[in-house]
Amino acid sequence: MSEQVKLEPGRKTPAFTLPDQDGNKVSLKDYEGQWVVLYFYPKDDTPGCTTEACDFTSGLKAFEKLNATVLGASADSPDSHRKFIAKYNLKITLLSDADKAVMTKYGALGVKKMYGKEVKGVIRSTLLIDPNGKIAHAWYGVRATGHVDKVREKLAELAG
């Protein structure tokens, strides 16, 4: 299995354009001049992913006050994202990375342990992207519970 890429702070972010839950094309360049919290998660409507999405939704006002947009991405379809958003009244934008190409570029796809076996899959990851399109901070292999608070604290420290 190939080595997982990890993006380091200061590195220019790889460009991407992905469909959101409504099928609209979303590009990273659409957010030039503002902070972006880009998080990758394994699957809609699973326990950890639901916790993370709901936590980002509850904390959205605090992120917006810091001039940040929150984007979630998984390999799920736009239709799956719409159902997930409706079920939990989510207020964040979810992107569909069906072929996992963006996850691969951002280091969110790699080998992980599942039930004691090594498997290739989505590694729960969050990247904080500065207004100039560079990585400000990266978290890989995160636990969903409490993670959003850490991201917000780091953003407040860096944007402050």
Give residue 139's domain range: 34-159
CATH of the domain at 42: 3.40.30.10
pLDDT tens-digit profile of 14-34?
Answer: 999 999 999 999 999 999 999
C-alpha Rg value of the chain to the nearest Å: 15
In a domain, 15, yes or no: no
Q: Which residues pair with 114 in a beta bridge?
A: 117
- State the burial class of residue 133 (Cβ atoms within 10 Å of its Cβ: 0-12, 13-18, 19+): middle
φ, ψ for residue 141 (rounded to 5)?
65, 40
- Which positions are annotated as active-site residues? 49
* Predicted confidence (pLDDT) per residue in 65-99, tens digit: 999 999 999 999 999 999 999 999 999 999 999 99
- In the chain, pLDDT over 90 holds for what percent of residues? 85
The total number of structural domains that make up the chain = 1
Q: Is residue 54 part of a domain?
A: yes
Domain assignment present for 6 = no
Domain assignment present for residue 146? The answer is: yes
Residue 94 resides in a domain: yes
Half-sphere exposure of 56 (CA within 13 A, CB side): 27
Under 8 Å between Cβ of 139 and 149: no
Q: Does residue 84 lie within any of the structural domains? A: yes
